[in-house]
Amino acid sequence: MEHLTKDERNARGRLQDMVRKSGTSLAALSRLLGRNPAYLQQYVSRGSPRHLDEPDLRKIAEFLGVSERVIATRIFADGGVEEASSGYNAEGNGRSREWIDVPRFALGASAGPGALPDKEISYDSFRFSRRWLAEQGLERAVLSAIRVEGDSMEPLLSDGDEILVDRAKRPFRDGVHVVRLGDTLMVKRVAASGQGKLALISQNLAYPPIHVASDEVELIGRVVWKSGRL
């Protein structure tokens, strides 16, 4: 990366550090952008591409909850790339602003028989107070918002509710999770059922539990909050 400027190397270092602290990975973030899983690793370690495209930069900054300037490598009109102290708290989780933008994804987690997800690209965001997130114990969460589809989690979750999913990597514990089973994205209560198996349980008793081996299902994240119309 000898051809890169000091500012460009620093921006890449901040991005790598923030991704690590968020509990996700450069490969996962590359997939979120609709890119090859190696895209951001090559950007960070090889300097290729030299600059992120504006749509990619915006999505990454939104996902991490930081100003685009913190991870930008291009020069801004008012004097250059922004250093970590201007929008990134190196001692915390990269979210030093008063408000956090949580990306909304145009896909549904089925609470019924299952649904094929659309391409995972953020189309909008919810804005939450950092203080409120801290009060909820979510100051270190990696949050995304998606929609519930179906009735199998009623009355806990209803069709059309939007839920916040914490995608940070944490030790598993029983609770309501968004999971991927094959090509199907679902929201279920997930419980360990012994001998390396998990039970995917619906709140609506009309739906029987689904028993799977733990390596057959991907735990996307834990559901930590919901919203819906009255």
Q: Which two tokens stand for residue 90?
A: 């190196």
pTM of full prediction above 0.75:
no
Kindly report, residue by residue over 137-180, the tens digit of the pLDDT: 888 888 889 889 899 999 999 999 999 999 888 888 899 999 98
Query: Above 60 in pLDDT, residue 209?
Result: yes
Q: For the residues 76-97, what does the mean pLDDT come to? A: 39
Around 44, how many Cα atoms within 13 Å sit in the side-chain half-sphere? 20
For the chain, domains (ranges, CATH) are 6-86 (1.10.260.40), 99-227 (2.10.109.10)
Q: For the residues 211-226, what does the mean pLDDT come to? A: 92
Query: Above 80 in pLDDT, residue 37?
Result: yes
d(C-alpha 125, C-alpha 33), whole Å: 15
Q: For the residues 5-12, what does the mean pLDDT come to? A: 85
Flag the least confident range among 4-13, 77-86, 145-154, 158-167. Answer: 77-86
Burial (Cβ within 10 Å: 0-12, 13-18, ≥19) of residue 104: middle
Average pLDDT of the chain?
A: 80
Residue 119's pLDDT band (cuts 50, 70, 90):
very low
d(C-alpha 157, C-alpha 151), whole Å: 8
**Which positions ≥6 away from 39 have C-beta within 8 Å?**
30, 33
d(C-alpha 64, C-alpha 83), whole Å: 16
Give the Å distances, CA to CA, from 149 to 35, 109, 156, 202: 27, 6, 13, 13
